[in-house]
Structure 1
Amino acid sequence: MAFGQSPGPPAGQRQVNRLLELLNEAGHSDFRDARGPLDLTQRQAAGRFTRGEADALIELLETELEQQRSDATDAGPSPEPHGGNEIASSTTATPTAPRRISRDERRAKEAQRTLRDVSDEVLATELQRRGWVVMEP
């Protein structure tokens, strides 16, 4: 990609807003704060994403948050020390440190997202070109 050229169609405002919501849920204040842990580029840290990048990152963050929620529910509620007192104890959830997502993991998710749009014939042709044997199911 040449300097100054766009890498693809820009992400819509809804995608960027959804991405920011997910980043906030993951414990980041904004895109710049998430740059290191999510391995974002300078362009992405400024909130400029392509549609594919935004879709892949949204899917990755949603999967990560669902995993964290299921892990939290699997742990179950902690027993109350005073035997079910009517006064609700103020338990604050300690925020977990955001998991660092590698560049390879993010690129793999983007590639998976892109491959969903590829027709079966084109995908089969590419696999055959790479030496794979392809047959219909």
Structure 2
Amino acid sequence: MKKLNAIWLTFAAVFLSIISAGALAEQKKTLGEWDVHYMVVGTPFLTPEVAARYGIVRSKFNALVNISVLDKNTTKAQRADVSGVARNLLGNTRKLTFKKVEDGDAIYYLASLPFRDQETFRFEIDVKKGNSQQTLKFQQKMYVDE
């Protein structure tokens, strides 16, 4: 059972790395003492097994928001409190509930976001650690993959 868990964790880490490095241009903002990496992708890219493991619903109308927080000097992954909202252009707000996933030295914060085809969201993600707090802001248009 330990070997099976290790295989799944390795697969998830490799999958997330491939998506962030290969399928999308790097999205990163330096906020204070952190480099915050972010991406939003459709959940159909996940295998059913990986989606089930992390409690993510696979749907062409569901996206995965992935945030990682690194110390900008050491590039070491940081444990932080991550929360946020996504607002569409009509002003409808969706709260993002992030789940922390740790795999070796990597730490990811994952949240699901339902959307409609060609819906644009403005994201505000709060990152807090100790007395430090920063807000990541970005905008992304979502598309349904047929």
TM-score range, shorter chain: under 0.3
TM-score of the superposition, structure 1-length normalised? 0.25
Q: Which structure is higher in RCO with an 8 Å CA cutoff and minimum separation 6?
A: 1
Q: Choose 1 or 2 for highest CA Rg.
A: 1
TM-score of the superposition, structure 2-length normalised? 0.24
